[in-house]
Structure 1
Amino acid sequence: MDASKPKITIVGAGSPLTLGLLGDFYRVGDLWGSELVLYDIDKKRLKAMYAAVRRYIERTKADLKVSMATSKVEALENSDFVVVAIRAGGLRATRAYIEIPFRYGAIPIVGDTTGPSGMLKALVEIPAILDIAHTLEDVSPKALILNHTNPVTAVCTAVRMASKIPIVGLCHGYPLTKFASALLDLEYEGLRSVVAGINHLTWVVEMTYRGEDVLEELKRAVAEGRKWDVIALHPYLAGRQLLKTYGMLVSSPDRHSAEFFHYLYDWLRDPEIGRVLRSVSHVVDYDRGTLSEEFISRRRAAWERVLRVAKGEEGVSASGLFYLDIISSIANDVRRELRVANVPNRSCIEGVEEGAIVEVPCVVDRGGVRGKRVGRLTRSVTALLNLHLEKFELLAKGVAEREKSLVLEAMGLDPTTPSPEKAEAMLNEFVREMCDVLGPWS
C-alpha cells in the first residue's frame, strides 16, 4: 500500500452508502490520490453509480482515481480496504425475511439484526461476505474489511470464525446525547457519552456535561417520566422500561433495542408503545403483514438521487460514518478516537467472552482498530449480551456450515422466537423461497 494512496474497493457499490463515502473524501481531506473501485453484481446500478461518482469528481476536480470492476477478483485484487455494503438476494430476500416470520407470529420492527427476521437475513448475507473474505485471502491477504451489512454482529462473527481477513463492523452508533440534551435542558455540544454492548443493543456507561457526571440525573429524568413529550418523541418508551428492569440506559433507539427482548410482543400490543414502535419501523406494513410501501419508496428515492447526481443536478454529503476516518488513520498513521466500532472483545467489556464481537469505543492508527476498555456493565446486562453473542456464534457457525440444526439452536436462544415448531417452519420456508441464492442446505 502506498501509505497515503490506498486502493479502496466498495462491494455493493450500488448502495446509497457510496455517495456518502464520496462525501467523506472531502471531509477527511487526506486521501486524495487514492484508487476507488466500485463493484456490484447489479450492472445497471453499478453503471449509474459510477457515472454519478465520475461526474461529481470531474465537477469538483478532485484527485481520485475511480473505476468500476465487472468481476469480483478484478475488484478485490490488491485492495487495501474493502467496504462491504451488499444486500444479498435483493428486495426478494428482504420480503422473505420480513414476511415469512410475520406469518408465524414473529413480528419484526426493523428485522435486520436479531429475532427470526434478522437471523434469516444472515442466511443470505453471511455466505456472500465469506466468499468476499476467502477471495481476499487469495488476492489481497493484507486487506481490511469494513462491514456495513446487517446483521453486523453475525456477519463479523462469521468472518472472524472462518477467515484470516480482519473485519471491523460499523454503524452510526447512538450516543443518546441529543436525547439527554432535550431531557435535561443542556447544550448538546457540552455532552459526552461512552456506550458499549453489541450492535443495535448498546448501553450508556458514562454521560458527562462539560466534564461533570450527569448519568444519574438522566436516569432519574427518564424513570420519573419528566418531559414526557421528549421521551415519546425520541422515542424512548421501551428504553424507559428497560431502565427500570436492568438499571442501565440503553442507548440504541427503541426500533432496534426492543427487538432483542421477550417483551417485544407485549410492547407491540400496548396502545401507546405499540403505536410508536409501528410508526418508527419504516419497514413493516403491520396491517398487511408485508414489507411496507414506505421501505420500497425510500429505496426508489435513493436510486433517483443517484441518477440526479449522475446528471449533475445534485451534490453529495458526508455519510456520518467512520469508514474513511479509519482508512485515513491506518494509511497515514493518524490517531483517531471512534465513538464506536464492532471489534473482537479484548478485555473491553468485563464478563463478555474474549474475541466475541462487541460494539465499543475504539482507537485507530497505523496499528489498526482497537477497542477501548469500558469495564463492567451490570450483571443482568452482561448476561443479556452473552445470550445474544452465543446466539450469533451458533448462527454464524450454522450458516457457514449450512447446518440447519445449529441455526435452529440459535433461533431457540432468541427470546422472540415463538416456538421450536414455528422456528423450523420459518427456516424451511425461507430456505425453499431463496434456494437459488442459498444453494443446498442439510
Structure 2
Amino acid sequence: MSRIVFIGAGSAVFTRQLVTDLLRMPDLPVLDLVLHDVDPDRLEVARGTAEQLSRRLGRELRVSAETDRRRAVDGADVVVNMVQVGGIASTRTDLEVPARHGLRQTIGDTTGVGGVFRALRTFPLLSGLARDLAELAPEAWLLNYTNPMTMNVWWLAAVAPRLRAVGLCHSVHWTAVDLCALVGVPLEGTTYRAAGVNHQSWLYQWERDGASLYPLLRERIAADPELERRVRVEVFRRIGYYPTETSEHSSEYLSWFLRDDAQVERFRLRPSEYLGISEDNVAEYEAARAALAEGRDLELHDADDAAEYAPQVIHSLLTGTEREIHANVVNRGLVENLPQGAVVEVPARLSGAGVEPVAVGSVPLAGAAHNRTQLSVAEMTVQAALTGDRDLVRQALLVDPNASSTLTPAQLWDLTDELFTAHADLLPTTLGGRTELVLP
C-alpha cells in the first residue's frame, strides 16, 4: 500500500511541500509517487521537483508522471487532489467582474460569488475523478485540498457516497500556531480543537495544563489597540470564539466588513488581494522551472513548518501511527446543531484504519448560526449543478452575507448572468456550460 497519486501536481510549490514532508518521515516505506497534470510543462516541473528532493534528502522515491488521469489513479492507495480548474485566468474573472459591479471580495475561493463559480467549475472534474476511482481504485482514500472545500466535499458525497473522501485544510493548525505566538506560549503541550465549517470553524478548546488560553488572548488584545483592527479579533469579540481562517478570508464570510468603505479602512482590508497572491504563485512556479533547468537546488521549507495534513494521513495509513488532525467530512452525528448531511470541519483521529471523525456535540450557538448560512450557500450550489437550475445559483448568492449586503437582487442577477457567460467553457452542461458533467 504505497501508490500515492497527486492530481494537479503542476501546482509545483505545493507538490514540493508535500513531497518534502513525506520524505522527511524516516519510517515510511519506499513510495510509488504518481504525478498527474493536464499541462505537460507543469507536470515535468513536478517530476523534476520530486526527483531532486529524493536525491537531496537521500530517500528512494519511485516517481512517474502521467497526463492520463485513469492511468495515474489505477491501483491507487491514496489520491491527493489539488487542482485549480481555470487557473489564474478564472480567478481574475471571479474577482474583477464582481468588482466592476461594486462587489468587493478579498480571496473569492470559498463562498460567495467567487466560491460558487469556482465550485461549479470544479464539479465536473470531481465527478470524473470519482468515476475513475470507483472503477480503478475503489478502496483508495481521496484527500481533497481544492477549494471551495465544503462545496467540493459535499459534491463528492452527493455523487459518489461510497468514495472515501476527506477534505484537508491547514487553517486550524496555523490558527493555533499564530495564537500561541501572539500570547507567548509554546505550541507544544497545548491542546486545541475546532469545529464548524471550513474557513469558519470555531476554536472551542485552546488550553495548556488544563487552563484556557483565551484569558491571555483577551489581555494581549486589550494591550494593543492595533489588534482590534483585525477582522478575526472583531469576530472573536462579538462571537466569543476565535475563527480559524485569516482576517482577509474571514471578512468575506460575513456582512460586516467589505460592504462599507470605513470598515475596509478600519480593518486594513485589501479587496481582490488574491490576485496578487495568485501572481506570486505563478512567479514561484516560473522560478522553480528555471532552477530545475539550470540545475540549482530548490528552496525547501523548514522541518518545523511541516503542517500539511496529507503527509500525516499517508504516514498513519502506512505505519499505523495514531494522531489527531482536523478534517472536512459529512456531518453524520458529528455536530448536533449543524445540518445533518452537510459537510463540517471537526477533529479526526488517524490510524492504520484511516480517518475517523470525532463527534463534538454542539458548536457555539452564535457561530453555528453563521455556519448555517455558509452551508446554505453550499447546499444550493450543489443542488444547482445536480438539477441544472440556474436560479439556485442566483438564490445562493442572495443568501451569501457579503454579496447580499452589497448588491440588490437585480444587481446580483445581472452579475450572475455575466459570470455564466464568462465561465461557459468550464461550467457543467447542466447549467448551460460546455463541460460534460458525467455522474459516477
- Residue 316 of structure 1 pairs with residue 300 of structure 2: yes
User: Residue 211 and residue 266 in structure 1: after superposition, are their counterparts in 2 closer, same or farther (change >3 A)?
Assistant: same
Shift of 1:110: 0.9
Q: CA deviation at 1:214?
A: 2.6
Question: In structure 2, how many angstroms separate the alpha carbons of the residues matched to 1:271 and 1:94?
Answer: 21
SS of 2:269 mapped into structure 1: helix
Distance 1:132 1:221, change over 3 A: same
- Is the alpha carbon distance of 1:85 and 1:178 closer, same or farther for their aligned partners in structure 2, counting shifts above 3 Å? closer
Corresponding residue of 2:435: none
Which letter does structure 2 place at the counterpart of 1:198?
A: V
Per-residue CA deviations over 1:154-211 (Å, capped at 9, x if unaligned) read: 1001001111312111111235334444554434445332222111112110121233
Question: 2:417 matched to which residue of 1?
Answer: 428
Residue 266 of structure 1 and its aligned partner are, at CA, apart by 4.4
- 8 Å Cα contact 1:13-1:39 kept in structure 2: yes
- Give identity over the alignment, percent: 27
Cα separation, 2, equivalents of 1:150 and 1:207 = 26
Which residue in the other structure is 1:215 paired with? 214
Deviations 1:190-236 (A, max 9, x none): 533222211111211012123322324534654xx32234x26xxx6
Residues 160, 166 of structure 1: 8 Å contact kept: no
- The correspondence for 1:265, drawn from 252, 258, 264, is 258
1:402-428 deviation per Cα after TM superposition (whole angstroms, max 9, x unaligned) = 431222222221112223222222222
**Superposition TM-score, scaled by structure 2 size:** 0.88
Any unmatched runs of 5+ in structure 2? 433-440
CA distance in 2 between partners of 1:249 and 1:154 (Å)? 23
Aligned equivalents of 1:80 and 1:367: distance in 2? 13
More divergent stretch after superposition (411-420 vs 177-186): 177-186
Aligned-partner residue type, residue 173 of structure 1: S
- Structure 2 match to 1:199: 198
Distance 2:187 2:145 in 1: 27
Q: How many corresponding residue pairs?
A: 421
Alignment-derived partner of residue 387 in structure 1 = 373
Give the AA of the match of 2:144: N
Task: Measure, in 2, the Cα distance between the counterparts of 1:266 and 1:403.
Answer: 28
Residue type of the partner of 1:218?
L
**What are the equivalent positions in structure 2 for 1:340-419 lying under 5 Å apart?**
340-417=326-403, 418-419=407-408
Aligned partner of 1:288 in structure 2 is: none
Q: How many Å separate the matches in 1 of 2:378 and 2:264?
A: 32
CA drift at 1:399: 2.5
The whole-number CA distance in structure 1 between the counterparts of 2:188 and 2:66 is 43
Normalised to the residue count of structure 1, the TM-score between the two structures is 0.88
Tell which deviates more after alignment, 255-264 or 204-213. Answer: 204-213
**Structure 2 partner of 1:332:** 319
CA-CA distance at 1:303 after TM superposition: 3.1
Shift of 1:272: 4.0
Verify the 8 A CA contact 1:32 1:63 in the aligned structure 2. no
After superposition, the C-alpha distances for 1:6-62 in whole angstroms (9 at most, x for unaligned) are 211101001021111110112333333221100101111111221222233244442
Answer yes or no: is 1:124 the counterpart of 2:121.
yes
Deviates more, 1:95-104 or 1:59-68: 59-68
Note if contact 1:9-1:36 (Cα within 8 Å) is conserved in structure 2. Answer: yes
CA root-mean-square deviation? 2.3
Query: Does the C-alpha gap of structure 1 residues 244 and 336 become closer, same or farther in structure 2, counting only changes over 3 Å?
Result: closer
Contact persistence 1:394–1:406 (CA under 8 A): yes
Instruction: Determine if contact 1:106/1:116 at 8 Å carries over to the other structure.
Output: no
